[in-house]
Amino acid sequence: MEQTVTLNNREIKTYDFKDESADKKKISFRFKVRSGQEYHDITVLLYENNFKVEVPESNLSFQGTITNYFSTVTNLYKENETGEFTLELTEK
C-alpha cells in the first residue's frame, strides 16, 4: 500500500507500508532514493534517529526511532542510480 510518511517535516513517498502497531505504534515501509542530493538529504535525516512521524492517510502521529533499517547494495555515490530503503519506526 502506498502512503506518504512525514519524518520531521520531510515527506517521503512510500510503498509496502504496514501499520504493525500493538502496545506501541510501529510502522514499516520501503521507498526509493536517488543518488546525489536526495541520497545525502535522506541519510542526514535518518542519522537524527529522533522523528516526529506523521502518516496523514492513516491518521497516525507519534515520536519514533528507527528499530530496523536496511537498503539495497546500490552505490548511491554514482550518478543516476536508485536504491531502495526499508525502514521500521517504533514509538518512543
Confidence at residue 2, expressed as pLDDT on a 0 to 100 scale: 87
Here the cell at position 9 is 517535516
> Across residues 72-78, what is the average pLDDT?
86
Handedness of CA 41, 44, 75, 73 (dihedral sign): negative
- Give the domains, in start order, of the chain with CATH numbers: 3-91 (2.40.30.80)
Confidence at residue 77, expressed as pLDDT on a 0 to 100 scale: 85
Given a cut of 90, whether residue 70 has pLDDT beyond it is yes
Handedness of CA 5, 15, 38, 71 (dihedral sign): positive
The amino acid at residue 5 is V
Confidence at residue 42, expressed as pLDDT on a 0 to 100 scale: 96
d(CA 25, CA 16): 17
Per-residue pLDDT tens for 35-68? 999 999 999 999 999 999 999 999 999 999 999 9
DSSP letter assigned to residue 19: E
> Across residues 57-80, what is the average pLDDT?
92
Within 10 angstroms of residue 53's Cβ, the number of other Cβ atoms is 19
> What's this model's pTM, rounded to 2 decimal places?
0.92
Q: What is the mean pLDDT of the chain?
A: 95
Given a cut of 90, whether residue 75 has pLDDT beyond it is no
